[in-house]
Structure 1
């Protein structure tokens, strides 16, 4: 079974904001600040932009197939939002993978839904609930309790919002690197500064953290034994080492340092025991 871990990074949809709120005459930074202010007024304090006004600027993934493991960001830095989203759903058509995310049900997928609707992107396999494949009626990407998409945060929290935890903290607790380079609040300033490469690198480290936490989850539920877990962890290390990419090598080094910080009598389960 193919497994695809994914994460998106977004910025305010300035063009959409101008269309909805008449923000013509403002530059991008000022228009975004107006959107944040309007949102704070709507919510009573939160400036978190509505999902439909989140413009996708990066989709990163870890793809595990029987042939190996791949870590990358879809498209190029110059790719349009429509191209990124089209590539994502085309990948589902091609590989029919199990999707894995951290808060994908609450954020990433709803954003992709609205933005795909905006750009007129078809995704029949993703949306299938039995119309094309009868089995999809009982196991599809949209069902919260189905197996085609595992929102790891939602599942580990027992579907209780008050038990949700940030990926950074969970990954760090397990001896993995956690956030590297930036966090979500810094994506918009980085985008304005033209640092899309930095955003893509950050997103790739996020999906790596999610994949490593997922492997520990698979061990916990009995789908990997100790040897299987060690094999998967070694594969990740080998892929990172062979990549030659500085941000992935930095992730590998931070992972080693995280392991070294554990007491000898209580080692993390991300190395052979």
Structure 2
């Protein structure tokens, strides 16, 4: 069976890029560089959400479900400070190169993947398998003409938020709210708006943990969707949930203990 890879990214303002584009002095503190950019953005459209090409990737979290001899469920992150942005993005696409998984996201087509495209270009990342749309040199490249990672309506990348909304932006739902309505933990302790502040305070581990819980929430919503469309029976769905709980509990990590406790309390 094709492995499934759920992913999510966390970003901060590209301070170095902002200095370059606006010729800001090197001695200007990072927080002030970011505030300068936020103010310009608010003046333009009322929001301080920066353009995608100015979003620096600091974490990519992944959850993979694979089958066979090495099958199972695991969660991990590619993150600073262990790796720089270019290496983080390259390793993500290397995983796609190696496993050719179905990738699943929540708003990945609207945010995560475009960010990875722009930032990958900046860092010279290679991702031939990901970009294969039928013209590649792989044995099965012809199949990618009809089902690839790029086309919105193909399933090799399934943007669950986009699909559930019937590709209508006004129909989209927040992951946190939908997860909690489904009896899942939802977000714990942080949301995307708090990432920059946490980064300035050196709390990269908390950012990573938050990103990892998001990918597991997405995976659990995806499992319910698979049952909804008849690809999992209720018994198979429950078995997958048990596998997730067992895998998370086996890590012994505090954020998974909190996640499982919140999950059990909401059931």
TM-score between the two structures when normalised by the length of structure 2: 0.95
Counterpart mapping for 1:28-67 below 5 A: 28-43=30-45, 45-66=46-67, 67=71
Q: How many residues align?
A: 258
Gap regions ≥5 residues in structure 2: none
Q: Deviations over 1:41-83 (max 9, x none)?
A: 222x011100000000000010010010011112563210011
The match for 2:116 is 112
Consecutive unaligned residues of structure 1, counting only runs of 5 or more, are 260-273
Instruction: Please state whether the residue corresponding to 2:97 is helix, strand or coil.
Output: helix
Cα distance in 1, alignment partners of residues 79 and 164 from structure 2: 31
The match for 1:227 is: 235
Measure how far apart 1:223 and its partner are.
Answer: 0.3
> Are the equivalent residues in 2 in contact too, given 1:7–1:207 (CA < 8 A)?
yes
Q: Which residue of 2 aligns with 1:143?
A: 151
- Runs (4 or more) in structure 1 with deviation over 6 Å come to none
Q: Separation in 2 of the partners of 1:77 and 1:205?
A: 20
Is it true that 1:202 corresponds to 2:185 in the alignment?
A: no
| Counterpart mapping for 1:168-247 below 5 A | 168-247=176-255
Q: Classify the secondary structure of the residue corresponding to 1:74.
A: strand
Q: Distance in 2 between matches of 1:199 and 1:8?
A: 10
Cα distance in 2 for partners of 1:77, 1:56 equals 12
Partner residue of 2:97 out of 64, 75, 93: 93
**Matched residue, 1:10:** 11
Q: Distance in 2 between matches of 1:184 and 1:151?
A: 18
TM-score between the two structures when normalised by the length of structure 1: 0.93
- Matched residues in 2 for 1:14 and 1:240: separation? 35
Structure 2 contact 63–74 (Cα < 8 Å) conserved: yes
